Structure 1
Amino acid sequence: MNNLPQEKIGQNMLVKMAMLVIILAGIRAASEILVPFLLASFLAIVLNPLVTLLMRRGVPRGLAITAVISVIFIVILLLVGVMASSASDFSDTYPQIRSMLEQKLGVVQHFAARFHINISTEALAARLDPNVMMDMATTLLKQFSGAMTNVLLLILTVVFMLFEVRHLPYKMRNAMVNPQIRIAGLHRAFKGVTHYLALKTLVSLMTGLAVWLVLELIGVKFALFWGVVAFILNFVPNIGPIIAGIPPFIQALVLNGTYDALFVVALFSAIHMVFGNMLEPKLMGRGLGLSTLVVFLSLIFWGWLLGPVGMLLSVPLTSVTKILMETTPGGSRLAIMLGNGRPGSRPR
C-alpha cells in the first residue's frame, strides 16, 4: 500500500519530464518564429523607458515612439555599414595578411625544430587562416542579423508592442487568476529585466567605444569592427568578452607585432576588469539574483535552444523564468535553486 503513493509520484514526475521535453522540442522547432519575437520583446522593454521619458516631457506617444524607432533604425543601418566596410577592407588586405602569417609560422616552425618537434607550416596556415578567423569573428554577427532578416517586420513588431504596453495592466488584471500575485511577479520581472538590459547596454556601449578608440590609437586594422564585436559579445555573460578579444589579438600578432598583440591582451583584460568586474556590479547591485553557475548554464541552455540570440538574452530569459516560478507553488522551490543563495535574496 505504501508503494502506491511513491509510484504515483514517480509517474507524475515522468509525465512532467515528458511534457517538458515536448515543450522544449516545440520551442526549438519554432525558434525561427520565436527568436524575432523575443528580440522584439526585449527591444520593446529597453525602449519603453525612453518613450516614457519623452512623454513626460510633453511629447505625444506616437511621436515619441517614432523618434525612438528612427534612432534605432539608423543604428542598425550603421552596424550593417560597418560590417560591409570591414568585409571589403579585409578582402583587400587578405593577401598581405596571408603572407605575413606564413612568415610568422615559419619562425614558429624553426623554433620548434630545436626541440625536435615537427610542425607543418601549411597545416598551421590552414588552421590559422585569417579568413577563417574573420569568419569566426563575424559568425555571431551574421546569425544575429539572420534573426533580423526582415528588419521592417521586427521594427513594426516593436512599434505595436510599444503602443500596446499601456493596455497591458488592464488586460492582465482581467485575464489572470490571482491577478495581484501574477501582476506583482510580472512587474518585478519587467522591472528587473529593464534595469539589467538598460545598464548592460550602457556598459557594452562603453566597452565597444573603449575597444574601438584604443585599437585605433595603436594602429590595429578594423578597429571599428572589433569595437562592434566587443559591444555585442559583451551581452554574452562570462565568455563573451574573452571571445571578443581573441581575433584582434591574433590579427595584431600577425600584422603589428608581439608588443602590440600583448597590448591588445592587456587592453581587453583591463576593460573586462574595470567595466565587467567593477563598474557593472556596482551599477547593477545584486543584479537579477542568479547564481554564477546558473548564469553559465543558462548561456549553454538558451544558446542550444534558440541559437546566438538565446545566448545574448540568456540572463534576462532565465531571470523572467525564475520570477515566474516564484509565483507558482510548484516552482518556488526550483526558483530558490536558481537564486544566488545570499541572505535576504529570497523573495518574501
Structure 2
Amino acid sequence: MQVLSNDRAPANDVARGVTADNHTEPREIERGDLVTFCLIALLVITIGAVLYFAKAFFLPIIAAFVVGTMLSPAAGFLERHRIPRALSAVMIVSGLGAGVTFIVGLISAPVMEWTGRLPELIGLLKDKLHIFDRPLALWHQFQSMIGASDAFATAPFQMPKLEWVQPALEFLPPTFTEFLLFFATLILFIASWRDLRRALIMTFRDHDSRLRALRVINEIEEHLGSYLLTVTLINMGVGAATGFVCWATGMPNPAGLGAFAATLNYLPIIGPVAMFTILTVVGVVAFPSIGEGLIAPALFVALTFLEGHFITPTIIGRRLELNALAVFISLAFWTWLWGPMGAFLSSPLLIVSLILREHFIPSSEPQLP
C-alpha cells in the first residue's frame, strides 16, 4: 500500500502541476493580449493625431495614392497600346482635370446666380414659411394647456442665422498648394507605379511573401479601379436622372442641379442628404406653393432609394459590397479627420483595409450555428 501511495504521489504532483499550469498560463496570455491591445491602440491614436495635424501634407499625398491606384488600370491599358507610361499619366490627369472643370462650370453658374440673389431668395423663403404660423400657434396653445413654458409663444418667426457659413467655407476648400501637391504626386505616381510595385514586392525576401504581396497589390488595384468605374457610371446616371426630374418638374437650371447631384453622390450618405436639402430649398423658393416645390425632392428620394438599395448592389455585386455600419463609421471618421475629401476617400480606404485584413489576418475560426 505504501508503494502504491508513493507511486501515486508523483502522478498527483504532475496532475497538480498541469492544473496549476493550466490555471496560470491563461493569465499570462491574457496579460500579453492586453499589452498588445494597448500598444496597438496607442499606435492608432498616434497615427490619427499625425494625420490630423499634418493634414496639409498627408491629405493630398494619400488622395493621390488612392486616386492613382484607381486610375492605374487605365494607364496600363494605354501602355499596352504603345503609349509611354509618362505620357499616359499626363493624358489621364489632364482628362480628369478637364472633367472636374466641366462639372465645376455647370455648378458654378447657378451658384453664382443664387448667391447674387441671396437677400431676395431669403425674403421669398421667409414669406413661404409663413404658412407654418398657424401650426406653430396651435403648438404654443398646446404647450400652455399642459403647463409648459410659453417663452417662445410670442416670439416672431425668424430665419436661422448663417453664422456657420464662414467656418464651413474655411473648412471646405483646400489651398492651392494642396491642389498642386495632389496633381504633381498623382502624375508621378501613375507614371512610376509599375516600378514602385516591383520595388515593393522585392522588399520581401522569401518567395511566398512576394507572391502574397503581389496578390494583395493586384487585388487592391483591381477593386479600386472597379469601384471608381462603377461609382462614376452610377453617379452619372443619378445626375442625368436628377436633371431629367428637375426639367420635368420645372425646376430652374436642371443641368446644374443634375451635375450637383452627380458630384455630391460621390460622398456616401452625406451627398444625397445635401442634395435633397438643396432641391427642397430651390423648389420652395422657385414655385408658388410648397407642395409643388416638394415634388422634385420627393422624386429624388425615390431615385436615391432605388439606386442605393437595388441598382448599386446589383452592379457592384457581393465582392465589393460593404457593410452599412462599416461604411458609416469610416465615413464619420474620415470626414471628421479630413473633411469632404476624407468623405470621398472613406469607401476606397475601407476597401483597402478589408483586403489587407483578408490576406494578412485570415479568418480560420469555425462557423457558429
TM-score range, shorter chain: 0.7 to 0.9
- Is the CA contact 1:86–1:222 (under 8 Å) kept in the aligned structure 2? yes
Q: Does 1:64 align with 2:88?
A: yes
In structure 2, relative to structure 1, the CA distance for the partners of 1:26 and 1:325 (3 Å cut) is same
Deviations 1:278-310 (A, max 9, x none): 221121111425322111111112222332212
Amino acid at match of 1:241: P
Amino acid at match of 1:314: S
- Is the CA contact 1:235–1:313 (under 8 Å) kept in the aligned structure 2? no
CA distance in 2, matches of 1:237, 1:206: 16
Task: Give, in angstroms, the shift of residue 149 of structure 1.
Answer: 5.2
Q: Does 1:184 align with 2:215?
A: yes
Matched-pair identity in %: 23
Equivalent positions of 1:198-209 (< 5 A) are 198-209=229-240
Equivalent positions of 1:322-337 (< 5 A) are 322-328=354-360, 331-332=361-362
CA RMSD of aligned residues (A): 3.1
Q: Does 1:160 align with 2:191?
A: no
In structure 2, relative to structure 1, the CA distance for the partners of 1:326 and 1:46 (3 Å cut) is closer
In structure 2, relative to structure 1, the CA distance for the partners of 1:276 and 1:13 (3 Å cut) is closer
**Counterpart position of 1:220:** 251
- The alignment partner of 1:327 has SS state of helix
In structure 2, relative to structure 1, the CA distance for the partners of 1:73 and 1:246 (3 Å cut) is same
- Is the CA contact 2:73–2:221 (under 8 Å) kept in the aligned structure 1? no
Deviations 1:234-283 (A, max 9, x none): 12224431332112112212321323333122321232133322221121
- Is the CA contact 1:35–1:147 (under 8 Å) kept in the aligned structure 2? no
**Counterpart position of 1:308:** 340
Unaligned runs of 5+ in 1: 342-348
Q: How high is the TM-score relative to the length of structure 1?
A: 0.81
Unaligned runs of 5+ in 2: 1-20, 142-152
**Counterpart position of 1:86:** 110
Larger radius of gyration: 2
Amino acid at match of 1:318: L
CA distance in 1, matches of 2:297, 2:111: 24
Amino acid at match of 1:293: L
**After TM superposition, what 4+ stretches of structure 1 lie above 6 angstroms from structure 2?**
none
CA distance in 2, matches of 1:276, 1:209: 16
Please say which of residues 215-224 and 98-107 is displaced more in the overlay: 215-224
Task: Give, in angstroms, the shift of residue 316 of structure 1.
Answer: 1.2
CA distance in 1, matches of 2:41, 2:238: 41
CA distance in 1, matches of 2:154, 2:342: 39
Deviations 1:111-166 (A, max 9, x none): 4324545374443x135x7x97xx59x959x8564166543432222111111112
Q: Does 1:264 align with 2:296?
A: yes
Equivalent positions of 1:112-123 (< 5 A) are 112-117=136-141, 118=153, 120-123=155-158
